[in-house]
Structure 1
């Protein structure tokens, strides 16, 4: 196995999935939203990733993905921001911020014994509209958390139905390098996401508001990777339950299978978090130097890792 390929396989940590139900305003130890947490079970201090689901999806649809990330030594906290929502994502940004603010007091007691969150090493990631919310949170568009994020990751992020049809609050400005933030940024895209599934089904990640536009506004240090032969929801679980779960196989143009895309997203996230939360860039540099180590073919791979490079 090449050095760059190891992050695309499950890591060495045993992982436990935990469901934590929300509490009322009077309880600071219960989260503001339902949570799905993927945590290593062996004792130690672990960085934390706040993971935000996509539009009208459930956090449980990402259980295989967040388990992959956690198996490499990260605590992944995935709130269920809503079950139904309209085009305005302001409430989601506030919910993400309040979940982040809950972490210092509420997260330690719900983790397995001897597992401790290292909130000095905190990142946020989101898929689809959750990717927009992740960037909005770090940029302070709509709300800002009290904790600082060292990294932000957009997984096929979407900011509306098309250019000129952004949802509130808009995140994209269409000015290259306009994302002025201290956090390192990664954007992962899908090549099929901007293609409609059929004549009656619009693209799930339309051109003009998708990964390409988010990547253009990121300043170094940043990474931009695109899986050209995979679709917008191909990183979800293989068989998410219920009507919404079945719908994920019907609404977006998809690749041949979800496993390779999920391994790619999980591994790329792990490599990026190791570089910018733990100060260990070896896996990210290995992927840069050998893109063929990825389980999917990359149609774009841009690594702007030197902060001295200007936008």
Structure 2
């Protein structure tokens, strides 16, 4: 009888261990363990800060190593951070800090170098600002693990920045990226030369919306024309790159609902129909960003790459592509890096 009871307890313990392991398993499409706190800092009220920035930080007293994602929003940096709140809250819930600067200087924005001033201010002042307001006391801002992210024409800004230098960037994320200054491509201001690789090599994630290239009306250009967006970026990256196309969604469907509603009313961009769930899409975008950064930093097991490569486990309809680096990298897992050189990388691939 004692032996049977002991065997029963062992089976119960094994079951509990399995269930606990499943409960703790990485699932980027659910909320992470941390609560996000949002703050806005204004240039006129903060020393050395020329631009307004929105910040999302894990609000915890537990010690958390927090890599930093700097996001350049749509319209080359004119979109405010609050337009992406749901995505940023998901990313922050996994221990990352998000910084989105707002800049109204259209011409200088597209050169990208102004991001150095943002990174400098964040490193010199952000921790003190958070301490003053008793936010995220356990968060250790990791300024040596930087990711650059973007949406729409913000992708041009990120590429231009990295063409100048890599700094501490470990990878980059592009949501429906668009190259150039205007949607018609009339102004000769492009970051990418088709047929050439860029002059930096780094892991990248491209998140396309399937309706990007569709026009909002017959009188307006598409917000992300085929020849200026998405695959234009994918083809230009010499590093390991994941490409995920959310086939049912439009160019701004990942923004907060009030922004989506405004676009649907104005028909500025093509948008998905009302019956296509936008909250699921925002969760998907946040989850893919979390997966990418966690993967290249080795914060989870290497097999989490399946969340970027297997459409069957994604919460929305997608198609995916992936290419490996032109450089002899053994495994992109735990390979966050950025290698810069003066000239474009040669057109060779393993």
Sort the TM-score into its range (normalised by shorter chain): 0.7 to 0.9
Residue 307 and residue 72 in structure 1: after superposition, are their counterparts in 2 closer, same or farther (change >3 A)? farther
Tell me the TM-score normalized by structure 1: 0.85
The answer to whether the Cα contact below 8 Å between 2:183 and 2:223 also exists between their aligned partners in 1 is: no
Matches within 5 A, 1:161-310: 161=182, 165=186, 168=189, 170-176=190-196, 178-240=197-259, 246-249=261-264, 250-255=267-272, 256-278=276-298, 280=300, 282=302, 284-288=304-308, 290-304=310-324, 307-308=327-328, 310=348
User: 2 CA distance for matches of 1:63 and 1:131?
Assistant: 19
2:142 to 118, 122, 131: 118
The answer to whether the Cα contact below 8 Å between 1:49 and 1:76 also exists between their aligned partners in 2 is: yes
Q: Which has the larger radius of gyration?
A: 2
User: 2 CA distance for matches of 1:191 and 1:222?
Assistant: 18
1:62 to 84, 88, 91: 84
Match of 2:335 in 1: none
User: 1 CA distance for matches of 2:151 and 2:25?
Assistant: 23
What is the Cα-based RMSD across aligned positions, in Å? 2.7
* Structure 1, unaligned runs of 5 or more: none
The answer to whether the Cα contact below 8 Å between 2:170 and 2:202 also exists between their aligned partners in 1 is: yes
Match of 2:102 in 1: 80
Is the aligned partner of 1:135 residue 2:159? yes
Match of 1:47, SS?
strand
User: 1 CA distance for matches of 2:239 and 2:220?
Assistant: 36
Task: Tell me by how many angstroms 1:129 deviates.
Answer: 0.8
Residue 220 and residue 18 in structure 1: after superposition, are their counterparts in 2 closer, same or farther (change >3 A)? same
* Structure 2, unaligned runs of 5 or more: 1-21, 330-347
Tell me the TM-score normalized by structure 2: 0.76
- Return the structure number with greater helix share: 2
Match of 1:248, SS?
helix
Match of 2:128 in 1: 109
Is the aligned partner of 1:32 residue 2:19? no
More relative contact order, 1 or 2 (CA 8 Å, 6+ apart):
1
